[in-house]
């Protein structure tokens, strides 16, 4: 009876599933899950790609806006630093001028070259890198700033810098001054606007020197010949060219025209490479002092503009 059915109940046993049915269902579920996972991964990749694309577009737009701001108004952040440094340098230069005891007048004009050379040599011994050397004024580009001794990175962040191996006004050598074009108040931003015949003034404690521009040109950044002494006095201004790049140097050369001594006497030089000097009508000492004070005020105002 063990093999007989239970009385009153029909046999309801189902046939077992085919051997591969369970694995097929599991495989189907796995395939569907993999498809969903693959779709999610693609969507995540697209979102990440869209995020980075948007970020790059925004960053590029901001960089373009910043470049325009620097081109038109110069870098405002570095300008604030240079403005502060120019104010400090102007105050230091006032003290230097007030304590200076230069030759105020000459008995004969022919004594001027030797006198200026002697005064310049004495002043050179007092100069320190990063400190004020004098005042530069270029009317064409509206520049009135304190010149810093040195062309190292730190000095040029304070204003136009004087190359220490070059000469000083009155020494009969090349005077080399460099400046930034886009940052740190960009003193030489518009150096390319300077024209032949324009005047450049350098005010140092022993005299106010006026130079006339005779040429401007561009050289590769690797050209070191521009640093060599020209054999006569020439004021050489330099800035990177073109703006935002440093592949070349824009150079402006100017030759001495005249000097006004602290005592007010004004002497005119004979021309490029000439040591001939003739005296012009003397100005009063107060005129010379007023010019220096005006230049200092203008330098401070320029730094704040």
What are the residue numbers of the active site? 180, 240
Query: What is the b/e burial string over 8-35, where b = at least 16 CB atoms within 10 angstroms of the residue's CB?
Result: eeeeeeeeeeeeeeeeeeeeeeeeeeee
Distance CA 228, CA 249 (A): 15
What are the structure tokens assigned to 280, written together? 């012009």
Burial of 200 (0-12, 13-18, 19+ CB in 10 A): buried
Query: Pairing relation of β-strands 143-149 and 277-280?
Result: unpaired
Burial class (CB in 10 A: 0-12, 13-18, 19+), 85: buried
Integer-rounded Cα radius of gyration of the chain: 38
> What is the distance between the alpha carbons of residues 261 and 300, in angstroms, rounded to a whole number?
23
Q: Which helix (H) or strand (E) holds 234?
A: strand 234-241
**Residues 256, 235: Cα–Cα separation, whole Å:** 8
Residue 191 is classified by DSSP as G
Q: With contact defined as beta carbons under 8 Å apart, do 182 and 243 qualify? A: yes
Neighbours of 299 (CB within 10 A): 26
Cis ω before 242 (30° cut-off from 0): yes
């Amino acid at each position: 009876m063990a093999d007989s059915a239970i009385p009153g109940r029909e046999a309801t046993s189902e046939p077992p599933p085919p051997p591969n049915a369970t694995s097929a269902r599991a495989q189907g579920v796995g395939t569907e899950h993999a498809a969903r996972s693959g779709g999610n991964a693609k969507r995540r990749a697209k979102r990440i790609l869209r995020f980075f694309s948007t970020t790059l577009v925004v960053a590029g737009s901001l960089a373009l806006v910043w470049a325009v701001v620097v081109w038109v108004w110069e870098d405002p952040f570095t300008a604030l630093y240079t403005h502060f440094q120019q104010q400090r340098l102007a105050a230091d230069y006032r003290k230097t001028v007030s304590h200076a005891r230069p030759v105020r007048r000459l008995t004969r004009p022919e004594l001027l070259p030797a006198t200026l050379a002697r005064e310049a040599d004495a002043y050179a011994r007092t100069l320190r890198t990063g400190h004020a050397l004098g005042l530069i004024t270029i009317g064409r580009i509206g520049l009135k700033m304190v010149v810093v001794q040195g062309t190292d990175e730190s000095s040029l962040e304070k204003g136009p810098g004087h190359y220490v191996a070059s000469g000083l006004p009155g020494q009969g050598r090349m005077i080399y001054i460099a400046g930034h074009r886009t940052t740190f108040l960009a003193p030489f931003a518009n150096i390319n606007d300077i024209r032949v015949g324009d005047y450049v003034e350098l005010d140092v404690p022993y005299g106010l020197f006026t130079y006339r521009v005779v040429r401007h040109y561009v050289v590769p950044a690797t050209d070191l010949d521009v640093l060599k002494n020209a054999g006569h006095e020439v004021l050489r201004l330099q800035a990177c060219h073109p703006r935002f790049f440093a592949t070349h140097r824009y150079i402006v050369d100017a030759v001495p025209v005249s000097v006004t001594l602290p005592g007010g006497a004004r002497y005119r030089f004979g021309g490029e490479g000439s040591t001939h000097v003739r005296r012009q009508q003397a100005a009063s000492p107060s005129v010379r002092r007023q010019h220096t004070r005006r230049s200092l005020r203008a330098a401070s105002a320029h730094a704040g503009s």
